[in-house]
């Protein structure tokens, strides 16, 4: 059975996420159709989802005004994998520390937006990430990245930079402050969708 994936497509690296999802899924011997999510009604069709970076205030407004927010909550409540990056993490958090962001409360973390500086301070760091398929450091690209200040009891920290968590897992949700879709290394997408024991991607045996 082919999988169905969705990428929230208000702004940010939508195509890059779609490509990384295709790469991750094919590394696991499966096929996938990726939909861009611009309206309600698509999320319920999806086995797995990604919400890219961009501007968290804009993405927050969009997912609420289009009726996508409750569908994202239902997806996570059904234990299906959701991968959120950068601004996607801010919107999915439980506290973005910014009144202009209406948090989805899907990752129990408190956020400091732009904690690692402005656009010109973008950087790449070799990151040790728990749960990857091998021990090679992950080339993490940070662009006006948020930091995670506080994590709830259900949250597992997968990686930290400068003493602050930058990759976490909360049940079926994996979140990074950096941008794994911007490198050809799809190990974090694989971790979010296939090596996340807390999430369920339907398997061939379940569907046949």
* Residues at the contact surface with ligand GLN, assessed by CB under 6 A: 53-56, 86-87, 90, 113-114, 143-144, 146
Q: Is residue 37 annotated as involved in ligand binding?
A: no
| Dihedrals phi, psi of 107, to nearest 5 degrees | -130, 120
Q: Give 65's contacts (C-beta < 8 A, 6+ positions apart).
A: none
The sign one gets for the Cα dihedral 37, 84, 66, 61 is negative
Give the helix ranges, DSSP H, for 12-82.
14-27, 56-65, 69-77
189 is catalytic: no
17 is catalytic: no
User: Closest approach of Cβ 42 to ligand GLN, in Å?
Assistant: 22
For residues 54 and 131, which CB has a smaller minimum distance to ligand GLN in the complex?
54
> Distance (Å, rounded) from C-alpha 92 to C-alpha 36?
18
Q: Which residue is nearest to ligand GLN (CB)?
A: 53
Q: Is residue 111 annotated as involved in ligand binding?
A: no
User: Closest approach of Cβ 203 to ligand GLN, in Å?
Assistant: 32
Q: Given 46, 179, 189, 190, which residue is catalytic?
A: 179
Q: Given 71, 86, 189, 190, which residue is catalytic?
A: 86
Q: Is residue 55 annotated as involved in ligand binding?
A: yes
For residues 55 and 108, which CB has a smaller minimum distance to ligand GLN in the complex?
55
Q: Is residue 100 annotated as involved in ligand binding?
A: no
> Distance (Å, rounded) from C-alpha 85 to C-alpha 174?
9
For residues 34 and 182, which CB has a smaller minimum distance to ligand GLN in the complex?
182
Give the helix ranges, DSSP H, for the chain.
14-27, 56-65, 69-77, 87-92, 187-193, 204-207
For residues 148 and 201, which CB has a smaller minimum distance to ligand GLN in the complex?
148
Let me know: does 58 contact 168? Beta carbons within 8 Å.
no
Let me know: does 4 contact 47? Beta carbons within 8 Å.
yes
181 is catalytic: yes
User: Closest approach of Cβ 63 to ligand GLN, in Å?
Assistant: 13
Q: Is residue 90 annotated as involved in ligand binding?
A: no
**What residues form the annotated binding site?**
54-56, 113, 143-144
Annotated binding site for L-glutamine: 54-56, 113, 143-144
- Report the catalytic residues: 86, 179, 181
């Amino acid at each position: 059975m082919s999988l169905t994936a969705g990428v929230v497509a208000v702004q940010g690296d939508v195509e890059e996420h779609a490509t990384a999802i295709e790469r991750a899924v094919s590394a696991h011997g499966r096929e996938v159709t990726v939909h861009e999510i611009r309206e309600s009604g698509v999320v319920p069709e999806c086995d797995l989802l990604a919400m890219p970076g961009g501007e968290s205030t804009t993405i927050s407004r969009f997912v609420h005004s289009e009726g996508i927010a409750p569908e994202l909550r239902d997806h996570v409540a059904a234990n299906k994998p959701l991968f959120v990056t950068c601004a996607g993490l801010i919107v999915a958090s439980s506290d973005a520390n910014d009144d202009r962001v209406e948090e989805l409360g899907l990752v129990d973390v408190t956020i400091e937006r732009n904690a690692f500086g402005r656009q010109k301070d973008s950087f790449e760091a070799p990151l040790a990430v728990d749960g990857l398929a091998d021990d090679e450091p992950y080339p993490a690209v940070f662009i006006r990245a948020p930091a995670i200040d506080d994590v709830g009891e259900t949250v597992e920290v997968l990686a930290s930079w400068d003493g602050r968590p930058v990759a976490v897992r909360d049940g079926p949700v994996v979140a990074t402050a950096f941008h794994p879709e911007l490198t050809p290394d799809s190990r974090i997408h694989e971790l979010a969708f296939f090596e996340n024991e807390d999430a369920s991607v339907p398997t061939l045996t379940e569907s046949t």
